[in-house]
Structures are given as C-alpha cells and as structure tokens.
C-alpha cells in the first residue's frame, strides 16, 4: 500500500508540474510577442491590419484585434495550447493505465495452504511395518495428498497403493551415501513439483500439519528460508575436499533430519548447482557427511544463508519429556527412541498405555484429532 501511495503522489505532482510549465511557457511567449508587436507598430506608425481598417485601431473586443501580429499567429498559439493539453491528457492516461497494472501486480497473495507444502518422509524397507505403518495410521492420514514417501523397496504387505510412494534405487544401508541418495531423490521430485515449501521428516517423526502451516505462514513469500533444529550446540566442523586433493576446514550449522526441516522454494532453486541430479551426492562426498549435514553445507557455506533455529522441531536426541501436554499442539515435529538407554518420548495421558503406544504418537494424534475413529472419547489430557 505504501508503494501505491507513493506512485499516486508522484503522478499527481508530475501532472501539476507539467501543466504549470505549459501555461507559463505559453504566457511568456504571448507577452514577448505582444511587446514585439507594440514596438513594431510604434516604429511604423500603423497597425498590422491598417490596410483593412483605416483610422483608429480596433478595440480589444474586435475579432481582428491584434497587437503587432496577424490573426494566424493567434491561431497557432491556440493550436499549440490544444496540442499541449492533448499531450497532458495522454500522459495522464498512460500513467493511470500503468498504475492500474501495478495494482494488479500487488494483489495480496492468498494464505499458505497445506497443498503448497511438499512433505517428504524418508524410510527404509525394514522399517515399513514398525515405523511407517504408525505414521500412515496417524498424521499421514491427514496429509495424504501432500506427503511423499521415499523408500528403497516396494512392500506388498503394507497397503501403499493409495499413497505417493517413491521407490528409489538407493541402498538400504545406513550410510552417508545411501542417505544422501534418498535426499537427492526428495529434492529432485520437489523441484519437479509446483509446491512452495520442501519439508523433510524421518520415519520416526510425528508431524503436526497445523503447527507447520502456522510456522511457514509467518515468513514473507519468495524469501530464503532454511528452518529446523540442530542436533549440536555448535556449528559442525568438516573438511572440504578441494579439486587439487587438498582440504580446507569448514564450519556450519545444519538442521538434523531426525527433527525435520524445511526449505523455501526460492532457496531450494538456488541450491540446484550443488543439489540437483547427481550433484547432491557429490556435495555429500566432498565433506564425507550424510544428507542433513550436506543440506546445511550447501545452504550455509555455498549460499551464505543462515539456518533459522526453531525450538518447535524435535528429535529423539533431546529430552522429549520436557515438553508439557499443553505445549504439544504448538510443536511442529515430535520423535521417539532411546535416549541415554531409556525410552524417550513425550509424556501424555491417554487410553493408550506406554506399552501399547510406546512412541506416544497415537495419544498425541488423539489429542490433536479427537474425531479419529479409533480414538477413545472423551480423550483425557
């Protein structure tokens, strides 16, 4: 709106200035010619039209009245004034049309929708039944049309035909090469889509789509955003292999894939020279680190865009019991797993006991979506 106001003020000022310049110019020309005509008439002792009007000169009301200039000169000035006014009207019309075009271009963008977000889930065949099945039953059931599952093999036992499953040619090993292979596939499929955001989670994450939408909606469109939570309390230290086989030390923050992270499309597009096709795995090999570290390396080291640290993303590498039940609806991701040799999951009451729901994902899901058909009613906090 401030931009439109400035354009309107500038247009009005230019219009008035142009009109005043035209009028002053015409007035100065008339006065100059009047003086020249009077001097010329005094020297000759006759009026310019004395041949048709002998005797005293006609009065100002006469159509033939002219101080030292023929009638055609006045018509020329009138024509010049008309042309100036026509030019002024044309300029006003041009600026008005241009302003209308600007109004069309600054139309407020519609609010961010879940359909604008590409949600990638990384898994492996051996975790289909123990991890992926739980996600399909809980949060993926709410984001089915926007969630893409990247795995290393097909599964006839798990009903996946109604889901967006991407079977990669990546190894099922837990190595930085295999992990980077899947991340490369995630990136390429996202880039081929029209989605505005890329968000990655692991198969041991619970994703709260409403909280995710709130967080991403807070950022201005078309900005460079890399958001997540690091697993370290300091930048990671790595050694980048250079073309001459020497190495240099690099330090950068990265968002751990175990808590999930998001990239805006604008930033993802800038990553292409180091992330598209085989480039991502090559970037991973340069620093000899896995997929999530490679993303941080490209974003922070190659592009100079800092990671936005968010406390709303969580991995099993932190004490999840510090999150209160009242805070759960605001969290973007949760996780579970062993932490210091004990089961690490959020504490929440519910009809599902820790034995039947060790991850507590079912209990969290019933808290967020009590209308789910398998959730007990009423659901206690």
CATH number of 126's domain: 3.90.550.50
| Of residues 122, 127, 119, the one with CA closest to residue 144 | 119
Domain assignment of residue 299, yes or no: yes
Q: What is the pLDDT of residue 81?
A: 54
- Measured between alpha carbons, how far is 192 from 188 in angstroms, rounded to an integer? 6
Banded model confidence at residue 11, pLDDT cuts 50, 70, 90: low
Which is more confident, 156 or 329?
329
* Confidence at residue 155, expressed as pLDDT on a 0 to 100 scale: 86
**Cβ(299)–Cβ(280) below 8 Å:** no
Q: Which of 246, 259, 336, 330 is nearest to 296 (CA)?
A: 259
Assigned domain for 321 exists: no
Note the pLDDT tens digit of each residue in 165-209: 999 989 988 888 999 999 999 999 999 999 999 999 999 999 999
292 carries an active-site annotation: yes
pLDDT of the residue at 35: 45
Cα–Cα nearest to 275, from 260, 255, 296 = 296
In the predicted structure, residue 350 carries a pLDDT above the cut 50: yes
Residue 73, in any domain of the structure: no
Note whether residue 129 is domain-resident.
yes
Strand stretches in 230-362, DSSP E: 236-241, 247-252, 261-264, 308-309, 333-335, 337-339, 342-344
Region 323-337 average pLDDT: 97
Q: What mean pLDDT value characterizes the chain?
A: 82
50 lies in some domain? no
Q: How far is CA 78 from CA 86, 244, 289, in A?
A: 12, 79, 81
pLDDT of residue 103 exceeding 70: no
DSSP state of 178: H
Q: Which residue has the tokens 């820790």?
A: 354
- Look at residue 157 in the predicted model and tell me its pLDDT: 77
Strand duo 147-151 + 164-167: pairing: parallel
**311 within a domain of the structure (yes/no):** no
Q: What digits encode the pLDDT tens for the residues 32-61?
A: 444 444 434 434 333 334 334 444 444 444
What is the C-alpha R_g of the chain? 37
Its domain, for residue 250, covers: 117-225+233-306
**CA separation, residue 128 to residues 57, 122, 157, 183 (Å):** 110, 11, 9, 18
Indicate the pLDDT class of residue 131, thresholds 50, 70 and 90: very high
Average pLDDT over residues 5-27: 53
Residues 335 and 316 sit within 8 Å (Cβ to Cβ): yes
Please, are residues 354 and 360 in contact by the beta-carbon 8 Å criterion?
A: yes
Residue with the bigger pLDDT between 103 and 181: it is: 181
Q: Is 260 exposed, middle or buried (0-12, 13-18, 19+ CB in 10 A)?
A: buried
What is the reported pLDDT for 118?
98
Q: Is residue 85 part of a domain?
A: no
Strand partners, 120: 148, 200
Q: Whats the size of the chain, residue-wise?
A: 381
The answer, yes or no, to whether residue 362 has pLDDT greater than 80, is yes
Asked whether residue 317 is domain-assigned, the answer is no
Domain count, the chain: 1
Interacting residues of 334 by C-beta distance below 8 A, sequence separation 6+: 205, 206, 208, 314, 320, 323, 328, 346, 360, 361, 364
What is the average per-residue pLDDT within 215-224?
94
Q: What is the pLDDT of residues 224-277, one digit of tens each?
A: 999 999 999 999 999 999 999 899 999 999 999 999 999 999 999 999 999 999
* Predicted confidence band of residue 15 (pLDDT cuts 50, 70, 90): low
Catalytic one of 203, 204, 292, 357: 292
| Residue 17 pLDDT grade (very low, low, confident, very high; cuts 50, 70, 90) | low
Assign 206 to helix, strand or coil. Answer: strand
């Amino acid at each position: 709106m401030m931009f439109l106001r400035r354009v309107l003020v500038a247009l009005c000022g230019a219009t008035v200035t142009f009109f005043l310049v035209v009028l002053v110019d015409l007035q100065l020309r008339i006065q100059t010619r009047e003086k020249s005509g009077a001097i010329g008439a005094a020297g000759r002792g006759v009026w310019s039209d004395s041949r048709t009007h002998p005797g005293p000169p006609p009065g100002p009301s006469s159509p033939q009245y002219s101080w030292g200039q023929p009638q055609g000169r006045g018509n020329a000035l009138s024509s010049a004034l008309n042309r100036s006014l026509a030019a002024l009207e044309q300029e006003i019309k041009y600026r008005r049309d241009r302003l209308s075009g600007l109004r069309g271009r600054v139309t407020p963008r519609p609010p961010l929708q879940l359909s604008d977000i590409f949600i990638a889930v990384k898994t492996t065949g051996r975790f289909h039944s123990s991890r992926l099945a739980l996600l399909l039953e809980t949060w993926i059931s709410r984001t089915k049309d926007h969630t893409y599952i990247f795995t290393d093999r097909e599964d006839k036992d798990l009903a996946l035909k109604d889901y967006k499953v991407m079977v990669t040619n990546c190894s099922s090993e837990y190595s930085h090469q295999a992990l980077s292979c899947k991340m490369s596939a995630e990136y390429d499929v996202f880039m081929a889509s029209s989605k505005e955001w890329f968000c990655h989670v692991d198969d041991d994450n619970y994703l709260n789509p409403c909280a995710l939408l709130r967080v991403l909606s807070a950022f201005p469109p078309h900005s460079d955003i890399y958001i997540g939570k690091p697993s370290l309390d300091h930048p990671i230290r790595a050694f980048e292999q250079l073309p001459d086989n020497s190495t240099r030390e690099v330090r950068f923050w990265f968002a751990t894939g175990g808590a999930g992270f998001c990239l805006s499309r604008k930033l993802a597009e800038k990553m292409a020279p180091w992330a598209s096709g085989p480039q991502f795995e090559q970037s991973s090999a340069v620093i000899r680190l896995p997929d999530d570290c490679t993303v941080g390396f490209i974003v922070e080291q190659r592009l100079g865009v800092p990671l936005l640290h968010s406390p709303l993303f969580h991995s099993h590498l932190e004490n999840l019991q510090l999150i209160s039940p009242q805070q759960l609806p605001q969290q973007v991701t949760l996780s579970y797993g062993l932490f210091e040799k004990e089961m690490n999951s959020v504490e929440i009451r519910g009809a599902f006991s820790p034995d039947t729901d060790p991850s507590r994902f079912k209990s969290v899901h019933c808290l967020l979506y009590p209308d789910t058909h398998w959730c007990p009613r009423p659901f206690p906090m």
